[in-house]
């Protein structure tokens, strides 16, 4: 790859011009001097999560789409109970639909131990049917207002590598220490304290604290998304970063239903000389999503986009890397649900070292994946093509 100077010279004007689209009233807050750490597997992530909970002195804020009552879920409950006993204030937001299979006794035990709970979007006919389809898909823990852990990990054994082989999920997470944690805490508190339906989708802006405590050299922007927004900040963050790429775009996502705007952005990037590689799942916990994603393969492959499918595990990582330096990473998939109907939290992390770690990890996964060839893809059977067309009719709801 060319020098950092040449890359910045090519992409910076385009990035600055497009960045203003992210929020209609003002530019996103850039939190500088953060320390970021990448967790490239479930065991590493959950060890860091439990260590962070054990170190908590004042507050623990958790927000998760799915929490299982299994080995990892029980371990989390045990750590939270111990923290509550030593006087730490704990608040947990969980998605009601996402945790539908989790026994209510799990949450009752947490409440008895002193954990304050908020079940997000409990179905109610009094609010009509509009809200039934909304999910809190965020995944984050904030400890003492100074440390945040985020990524694609839900709370469950399949995410932690505690199950064998093909039932295991391949995911990544990361932690942030520094100014950016302030805004993440504001996003959480907006959901907890405000009108849960109205406020959770609004961007919570928190200006960086002026402090001499410089944790690191990573610049971080927080992108909070939700269905109450007038337009999708999550999708626009992806578009802005794709449009700013000068040399390389690497994307990993488990659910790929990008829509015409993202597809056009990727094809434009290829036409201006950017190498675009997509890492997608060969197997999925939601099989219909594979049909939906593969329906767009031909257009992308003809346009020069490279597509790879991970086979040995179920891909669940959600990350985009631009020019080896700037990552968009968090809870959001490249699909219509994450763009329009889920509450999501993504971070734009601009840091050469962090980007280099993600690039090395993604290239390793790509090398171990199968390449999707256009001629082979075009020979898929008529039954598959018909199923793709049928599923596409319901793509908005998946």
Active site residues: 137, 139, 144, 316, 318, 323
- Cα distance between residue 161 and residue 124, in whole Å: 36
Bridge pairing between strands 135-136 and 139-143? unpaired
298-304, Cβ contacts within 8 angstroms, sequence gap of 24 or more: 298/374, 298/377, 298/378, 299/263, 299/267, 300/263, 300/266, 300/267, 301/372, 301/373, 301/374, 301/377, 302/374, 303/266, 303/267, 303/270, 303/271, 304/267, 304/270, 304/271, 304/276
Q: Which residues contact 112 (CB under 8 A, 6 or more apart)?
A: none
Contacts for 398 with CB less than 8 Å, ≥ 6 apart: 257, 286, 288, 289, 292, 335, 337, 391
Count of H-run helices and E-run strands, the chain: 14, 18
d(CA 371, CA 373): 6
3-class DSSP state for residue 29? coil
């Amino acid at each position: 790859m060319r020098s950092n100077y040449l890359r910045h010279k090519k992409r910076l004007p385009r990035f600055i011009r497009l960045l203003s689209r992210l929020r209609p009233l003002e530019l996103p807050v850039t939190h500088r001097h953060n320390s970021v750490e990448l967790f490239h597997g479930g065991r590493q992530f959950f060890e860091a999560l439990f260590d962070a909970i054990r170190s908590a002195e004042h507050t623990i804020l958790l927000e998760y789409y799915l929490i299982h009552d299994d080995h990892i879920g029980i371990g989390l409950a045990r750590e939270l109970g111990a923290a509550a006993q030593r006087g730490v204030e704990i608040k947990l937001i969980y998605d009601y639909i996402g945790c539908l299979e989790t026994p209510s006794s799990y949450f009752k035990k947490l409440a008895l131990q002193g954990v304050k709970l908020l079940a997000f979007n409990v179905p109610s006919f009094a609010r009509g049917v509009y809200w039934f389809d909304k999910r809190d898909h965020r995944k984050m823990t904030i400890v003492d207002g100074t440390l945040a852990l985020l990524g694609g990990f839900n709370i469950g054994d399949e995410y932690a590598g505690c199950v064998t082989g093909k039932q295991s999920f391949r995911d990544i997470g990361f932690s942030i220490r520094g100014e950016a944690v302030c805004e993440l805490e504001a996003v959480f508190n907006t959901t907890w304290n405000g009108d849960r339906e109205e406020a959770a989708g609004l961007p919570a802006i928190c200006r960086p604290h002026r402090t001499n405590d410089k944790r690191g050299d990573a610049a971080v922007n927080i992108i909070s998304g939700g269905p109450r927004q007038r337009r999708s900040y999550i999708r626009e963050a992806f578009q802005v970063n794709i449009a700013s790429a000068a040399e390389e775009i690497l994307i990993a996502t488990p659910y790929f239903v990008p829509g015409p705007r993202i597809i056009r952005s990727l094809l434009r990037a290829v036409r201006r000389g950017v190498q675009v590689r997509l890492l997608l799942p060969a197997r999925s916990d939601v099989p219909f999503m594979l049909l939906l994603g593969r329906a767009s393969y031909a257009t992308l492959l003809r346009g020069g986009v490279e597509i790879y499918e991970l086979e040995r595990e179920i891909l669940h990582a959600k990350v985009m890397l631009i020019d080896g330096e700037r990552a968009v990473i968090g809870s959001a998939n490249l699909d219509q649900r994450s763009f329009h109907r889920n509450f999501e939290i993504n971070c734009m992390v601009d840091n050469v070292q962090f980007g280099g770690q993600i690039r090395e990890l993604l290239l390793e996964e790509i090398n171990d994946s199968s390449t999707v060839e256009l001629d082979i893809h075009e020979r898929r059977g008529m039954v598959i093509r018909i199923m793709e067309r049928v599923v596409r009719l319901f793509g908005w709801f998946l």
